[in-house]
Structure 1
Amino acid sequence: MSRPPVSPKPLTGGKVLVMLLAFFGVVIGANMVMMRLAIQTLPGTEVDSAYSASLAYEKEIAAAHDQNARNWKVDARIQRGPNGGATLLVEARDNNGRPMTGLKFLGRFERPTDRRADQPVELAETGIGIYRGSAVTIAPGQWDLVLEGDAAGRRMFLSKNRVLLN
């Protein structure tokens, strides 16, 4: 008669405990690493307070109606420099096609996925109705170009357009 082969190392309660602790240790460790990476790379929120943004919504609608009634023609062009910079050229004309002078234009390149990469561009009037500003270094990719035109301390123009920089 032959005996069945005996396992050289039987499975005991201690071994099962070690295996379970090792399994859950790996799972919890991986979760902790992923959580830390997610928190470190979190770009933030679009607005700091959704409640405050909702209260300002009616004012934004009225400002947009006023802007449409003015019928200004604002043309923006972006020229890429060899060193990775970008020059922003804005030409502003009123509803009759005359160049508008004396405005204060502000520009911003906003990264759609990470607002920590946003770059402001100060525009100075270089000619009648022509405003120019530069961003020293701006990475290639998709950006939102935000233009704001102020006159007498009041925002008169706002536009946001998606642009692709190479």
Structure 2
Amino acid sequence: MATKPLTGTKVFLMLVAFFGLVIGVNVTMMKLAIATLPGTDVDSPYAAGLAYDREISAAQDQAARNWQVSAHIERRADGAATLQVDARDANGRPMSGLKFGGRLERPTDKRADLQIELSEAGIGVYRGNAATVAPGQWDLVIEGDARGMRVFLSRNRVILN
């Protein structure tokens, strides 16, 4: 059996094919990486530091108020969830006139976050519903506003079955 000689043209074509394949795979992987990248975490570290300082100050103010806020979330059979927040002041009296809002955040995918609008159902009792809540782990975020300022923030991990 006669073998064909290895010529310069064949070596050149093999090199072009090899590097073409490597470059093609790299371009494909780069495009996939860029398409799935959610973006930068922080556009301005300085502004993020200032926001963090404000959060620390707000947390200290919240702790000084000594409010007793409890939340209960329940997933119903139809897939919806009901959130109830009970708010009491430092003396245990129910607080009304606040504006509470809730959010269910997926720990791994922010695109699945759900907003829950709460309305005052009684003195110091706030209720709201979220439609079609998938089972699994969620972060329950509760924010309370008074006169346009956030006065309460709570973040808790919950499991909804």
Alignment TM class, shorter chain as reference: 0.7 to 0.9
Root mean square deviation, CA, Å: 2.1
In structure 2, distance between residues paired with 1:46 and 1:102: 36
Match of 1:144 in 2: 139
| Larger Rg belongs to | 1
Structure 1 runs of 4+ with >6 Å offset: none
CA 163–47 in structure 1, closer or farther in 2 if over 3 Å, else same? farther
Structure 2 alignment gaps of length 5 or more: none
Within a 5 Å distance, the mapping from 1:13-92 to structure 2 comes to: 13-92=8-87
Q: TM-score, normalised by structure 1?
A: 0.83
SS in 2 for 1:56: helix
In structure 2, distance between residues paired with 1:112 and 1:131: 25
Q: TM-score, normalised by structure 2?
A: 0.86
1:125 and 2:99 are equivalent in the alignment? no
| Partners of 1:44 and 1:115 within 8 A in 2 | no
Structure 1 alignment gaps of length 5 or more: 1-5
- Following TM superposition, by how much is the alpha carbon of 1:7 offset from its aligned partner in structure 2, in angstroms? 5.3
| Partners of 1:143 and 1:162 within 8 A in 2 | yes
- Quick one: which amino acid aligns to residue 104 of structure 1? K
In structure 2, distance between residues paired with 1:164 and 1:20: 55
Q: Percent identity?
A: 68
Match of 1:99 in 2: 94
1:11 and 2:10 are equivalent in the alignment? no
In structure 2, distance between residues paired with 1:147 and 1:102: 16
CA 57–125 in structure 1, closer or farther in 2 if over 3 Å, else same? same
| Partners of 1:76 and 1:91 within 8 A in 2 | yes
- Quick one: which amino acid aligns to residue 119 of structure 1? L
Alignment size in residue pairs: 161
| Partners of 1:43 and 1:113 within 8 A in 2 | no
In structure 2, distance between residues paired with 1:160 and 1:94: 19
Q: Of the candidates 96, 108, 113, which is equivalent to residue 113 of structure 1?
A: 108
